[in-house]
A and B are shown apart, each in its own frame.
Chain A
Amino acid sequence: MGSIFQIILQRLALGILTLLIVSIVIFVAVNALPGDFAQAILGQGATDEAVAQIRADLGLDQNYFMRYFSWLGNVLTGDLGISFAQMNFASNMGGDQLVGVVEQIAPRFKATMFLAGVTAMFAVPISITLGVLAALYRNSIFDRAVNIATLSSISSPEFFLAYILILVLAVLNPIFPSLSNVYEGMALGEKLNRTMLPALTLTLVVTAHMMRMTRAAIINLLASPYIEMARLKGISPMRVIVRHALPNALAPIINVIALNLAYLITGVVVVEVVFVYPGIGQLFVDSVKIRDIPVVQACCLIFAAAYILLNLMADILSILSNPRLRHPK
């Protein structure tokens, strides 16, 4: 078992290294801005003194190397800075109750995780069931219909699916609200009701991919000799697939589930904007529009971290579920 921890530690170290390099990329990209933050905060009509003051406040007069490490240090201690919008407000209105980026992001991050969790609860069982059924009745009318439907829903843009769902489930048959303004302290039932449409949209997007992978993984295995043997013993097709093929197809299926969860956390941006869901994706897009660099930087880092973490998990889980990888020679 020693080697297994070694492998996992190796992957973990690699993941942390990747995250570090990604943080450098984000830092470099943001600092490639012409002019600097000070001018961006104060706008065009800023006086030189004010610009110099803010530069000193933010430490912009130090060199890039020092700034990167102080930024990294702040991030590691949980200080993501203060958004420009807040600073601008404070300098104009004279308030001193500045809300840090961390406090801004935390509730939204929770909301996004809630949305992703609800989606996963729908998407994973549905896609595996559909995948097994499509593999069982492959090349039947059912398989073709599911194939066409999933291919169409993968390739449609998210906002198209979202508006179709709004049209059908919110406007024509008012079942769910089309605006999902959830807030903290809401009753769970009400929260679920309002999260339903964005969750259904994401489910449509994600299910298609997972289901196709499940079907492909199972069909791949059906050609192997031990399945032939099971069939010759006279076991029913359903049992062949569920008992003999599915356990061996788990590795690719787990992998694709983890990858799709990674997609969920990062791909929620468009869906959150459509439904005005108060998640991190919406904050990100709003900050991109007003060029609020600290928030953009922080969101980017969080998305990248979640993405890398889930990819890492997919990697480790697929090692754990495959004996040949678990005991490397």
Chain B
Amino acid sequence: MSWLMNLILILIATAVVPWVFRFAGQKFTGNKPFFRDMPFAVAFGYVAGLLVLIAAVSYYFRPLEVNGVPSAGVIFFRWAVQGFIGFAIVAYLFRLFGRAVGTAGTRKLFRAMPLTAAFGVLVILLYAIVSIFAGSIAPYGQEEIFANANIVPGGNPMMGGDPNFPLGTDQIGRDIYSRLIYGAQNTVGIAFATTCLAFFVGGSLGFLAAIVGGWLDQILSRAVDVLMAIPALIFALLLMTIASVWSNQLGVDRTIFMVLIIAMIDSTRVYRLSRAVGQNIVVMDYIEAAKLRGEGMGYLIFKEILPNATAPLLAEFGLRFCFVFLTIASLSFLGVGIQPPLADWGTMVKDLSQFINFAAFAPNVATAPLLAAGAIALLTVAVNFVVDWMLHKSSGLKD
């Protein structure tokens, strides 16, 4: 019955400790409104948060190894906390930098920016730089194969590492660090190109449907309805099956088919949005004026509607990029996306995933697949933070 006693003790503690906390607060601050009006649930929240913080700090400072055996949990926790705090500090410094340097417009932008958005902007900039200059940053080529396969990350020769390969080599001896950098170029580049294509197709068709209306609008909208009734990843997998046969017969790279397929699937979502936005703009007087001036369709779409639809489309571009990027990563992870020998994060995660099982006794070994997956997650999180901030700013929501 000891567990029952424990349970009762815990329940009593949950009831009493927050109450004591609030009472002490009231006594020591001379009944300040903050403590006086504090509901019990809020007091409970503060106490729980405090306990979690204490537990986290005490876990953080536990010894890194016990009797020569590394305690992997503590090591991973330290890495995670250091990464989190490091990113927060860097984002803070970046925001300070943005507030002090630049034109009046950008300085104003940075002044109202939350830390998460500053972090997002910073990460996007970093990824852009890495993916553009991948060739000169990476120490080795993405297809270069070295004699030693499965070198452990960390660069410590005592632990099976090699200082020449700081993040180790993969199962056939390619440098993981170089492949991560080239992965930025391939994965992000292909996702970006796909999103641009989806936006060009979906956006222009959507605006066209909004301007012309009538039967064109009906046909396009119903076709999009049908395509959207099939779940995106499933449809992409079905079409990739067929494309793999086509690519063998035509001798065209499968990656090109993937770009076209995903662009088509995602352009339906873009079409929906741009048609809805376009319909609101088309009824404006200045469109009427442009039509009376005798302007052509291209002028109407790109010079009249597009500038007025920039804000929602830009936010959609960010979200769409995330979806495309995740779809490509998932397809590659499943083995039907970007094909080797091109370096790609999804494929790297799949290839290196079994190393996670060694995490308990050799934490270094497990980092390689997590780095590739983390690289994907970091970018999508960053883009989402920026989009979230943009939406919040443009909607003017205060509550």
Contacts and interface: CB of A to CB of B under 8 A. Distances in A.
Interface in A144-186: 148, 151-152, 154-160, 163-164, 166-167, 171-173, 178
Given A155-B377, A156-B381, A159-B333, A148 B116 contact: yes
Interface string B346-382: 1001000100110110000010011001101100110
B336 A288 contact: yes
A268 to B, nearest CB: 10
Interface string B332-346: 011110000000001
A160 B326 CA distance: 11
B184 interface: no
B336 A167 contact: no
Nearest to A219: B399
A289 B245 contact: no
Contact of A152 (B233, B240, B381): B381
A275 B329 CA distance: 17
B72 A29 contact: no
B226 interface: yes
Contacts of B388: 151
Of the listed residues B45, B230, B359, B376, the one surrounded by the most CB atoms of chain A closer than 10 A to its CB is B230
Contacts of B138: none
A34 B229 CA distance: 26
Nearest to A174: B360
A288 B233 contact: no
A219 B399 CA distance: 7
Interface in B222-269: 225-227, 229-231, 233-235, 237-242, 244-246, 249
B23 to A, nearest CB: 20
B91 interface: no
B238 A300 contact: yes
Contacts of A303: 230-231, 234
Interface in A284-321: 284-285, 287-289, 291, 293, 296, 299-300, 303-304, 307-308, 311
B195 interface: no
A262 B229 CA distance: 11
Interface secondary structure of A, over-half rule:
helix
Interface residues of A, number: 64
Contacts of B116: 148
Contacts of B366: 167, 171
B237 A155 contact: no
Contact of A21 (B226, B238, B357, B383): B226
A32 B41 CA distance: 61
Contacts of A288: 237-238, 240-241, 334, 336
Given A138-B399, A155-B377, A157-B380, A304 B242 contact: no
Contacts of A138: 399
A284 B242 CA distance: 14
Nearest to A270: B330
Interface in B86-110: none
Given A142-B45, A171-B356, A291-B245, A155 B229 contact: no
Given A25-B230, A159-B330, A269 B225 contact: no
Interface of B: 39, 41-42, 45, 49, 72-73, 76, 116, 225-227, 229-231, 233-235, 237-242, 244-246, 249, 322, 326, 329-330, 333-336, 346, 349, 353, 356-357, 359-360, 366, 369-370, 373-374, 376-377, 380-381, 383-385, 388, 399
Given A159-B333, A269-B330, A304-B229, 9 more contacts: A18-B229, A19-B229, A154-B384, A157-B373, A172-B73, A178-B357, A236-B39, A269-B334, A311-B229
Interface of A: 18-19, 21-22, 25-26, 29-30, 32-35, 40, 137-138, 141-142, 148, 151-152, 154-160, 163-164, 166-167, 171-173, 178, 219, 222-223, 236-238, 262-263, 266-267, 269-270, 273-274, 284-285, 287-289, 291, 293, 296, 299-300, 303-304, 307-308, 311
6 contacts: A33-B245, A152-B377, A167-B359, A288-B336, A307-B229, A307-B231
